[in-house]
């Protein structure tokens, strides 16, 4: 037998490590787009699933945003069938809220969150992680954004966060899988595409290589620090009491405020550091502000010595 390709071995080991807690019969879904990353993930997961006796399926979400998207989905499903994976293709209508990328993401995750699964695998790579961190840094979104994507978030798992995009392409080549190249990935109209094609090559050149790995390591360290602060924030007894909030360090207070806002119904994808800074002023610099409007149809107000959340009045 020919020797096992190192990229294939790395992919299989990454899946084993990411799903080590799952036992026989566990329901695993791989989210597939037809690109190299997701096809590679499906390929190596199929091998591991066979040895671990997992119930493996794949889901392809057709966003219907490009001509021929149904053909791309059909071809990907055909290749998955060839490696023994049952696949469902789900066509979705993408809205416009938050822009095309955010709307497509929301539609895709709605499908994936509805899966009857113990784990849904996403094929984000180390390169995706570095790009995500740089996007967050450019937006000034704070440490939570710079922490990047978590390996585990509820049912979602990202086994490939330490693999490079070149490795997923090599997995496909080694296993005779033909991947689709999304034209949006090189379209300068999309900020992530410009980071990928313009900014990352410059960083690699200026820093002498290793920039993507360094950014991903930084994200991992920031994420660990953030998780520790989140645990401390969870233990605050009275998270709406102004005196209690004022006694906290700013980094901890912002996490407590974020948790109270989300619990009140604020939209997590739109709640920003700027919103939290304004809520913070109700604690540290209150001059009778009426209310702080938050995404999701809620507002934060100060009532005496406490904060409270109310429904945003219609018409202001």
* Cβ–Cβ < 8 Å for 127, 164: yes
3-state secondary structure the chain: CCCCCHHHHHHHHHHHHHCCCCCCCCEEEEEECCCHHHHHHHHHHHHHHHHHCCEEEEEEEECCCCCCHHHHHHHHHHHHHHCCCEEEEEECCCCCCCCHHHHHHHHHHHHHHCCCCCEEECCCCHHHHHHHHHHHHHHCCCHHHHCCCCCEECCEECCCCCCCHHHHHHHHHHCCCCCCCCHHHHCCCCHHHHHHHHHHHHHHHHCCCCHHHHHHHHHHHHHHHHHHHHHHHHCCCCCCEHHHHHCCCHHHHHHHHHHHHHHHCCCCCCCCHHHHHHHHHHHHCCCCCCCEEECCCEEEEEECCEEEEEECCCCC
Euclidean distance between CA atoms 171 and 36, whole angstroms: 8
Q: Is 210 annotated for ligand binding?
A: no
- 35: annotated binding-site residue? yes
- Residue corresponding to tokens 């699933």: 49
- How far is residue 268's CA from residue 276's CA, in Å, rounded to a whole number? 12
| Dist CA 228 CA 277 (whole Å) | 21
Count, residues in the chain: 316
Does 193 carry a binding-site annotation? Answer: no
Joined together, the tokens standing for residue 73 give 């989905």
**According to the annotation, is 178 in a ligand binding site?**
no
User: Is 33 assigned a ligand-binding role in the annotation?
Assistant: yes
Give yes or no for a contact between 126 and 162, defined as CB atoms under 8 angstroms apart.
yes
Annotated binding-site residues for ATP read 33-38
Annotated binding-site residues read 33-38
């Amino acid at each position: 037998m020919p020797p096992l390709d190192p990229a294939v071995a790395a992919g299989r080991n990454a899946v084993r490590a990411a799903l080590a807690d799952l036992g026989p019969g566990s329901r695993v879904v791989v989210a597939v787009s037809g690109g190299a990353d997701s096809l590679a993930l499906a390929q190596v997961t199929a091998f591991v699933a066979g040895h671990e006796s997992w119930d493996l399926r794949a889901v392809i979400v057709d966003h219907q945003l490009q001509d021929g998207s149904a053909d791309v989905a059909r071809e990907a499903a055909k290749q998955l069938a060839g490696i023994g994976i049952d696949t469902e293709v789900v066509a979705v209508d993408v809205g416009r809220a938050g822009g095309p990328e955010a709307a497509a993401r929301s539609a895709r995750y709605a499908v994936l969150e509805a899966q009857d699964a113990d784990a849904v695998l996403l094929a984000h790579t180390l390169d995706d992680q570095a790009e995500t961190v740089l996007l967050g840094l450019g937006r000034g979104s704070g440490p939570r954004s710079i922490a990047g994507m978590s390996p585990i978030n509820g049912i979602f798992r990202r086994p490939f966060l330490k693999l490079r995009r070149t490795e997923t392409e090599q997995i496909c080549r080694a296993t005779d899988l033909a991947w689709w190249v999304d034209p949006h990935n090189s379209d300068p109209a999309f900020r992530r595409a410009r980071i990928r094609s313009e900014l990352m090559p410059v960083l690699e050149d200026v820093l002498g290589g290793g920039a993507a790995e360094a950014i991903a390591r930084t994200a991992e360290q920031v994420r660990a620090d953030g998780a520790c602060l989140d645990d401390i924030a969870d233990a605050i007894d009275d998270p709406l009491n102004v005196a209690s909030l004022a006694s906290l360090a700013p980094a901890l207070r912002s996490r407590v405020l974020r948790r109270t806002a989300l619990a009140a119904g604020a939209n997590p994808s739109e709640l920003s550091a700027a919103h939290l800074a304004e809520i913070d002023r109700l604690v540290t610099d209150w001059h009778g502000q009426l209310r702080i409007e938050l995404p999701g149809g809620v507002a934060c107000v100060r009532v005496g010595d406490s904060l409270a959340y109310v429904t945003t009045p219609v018409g202001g």
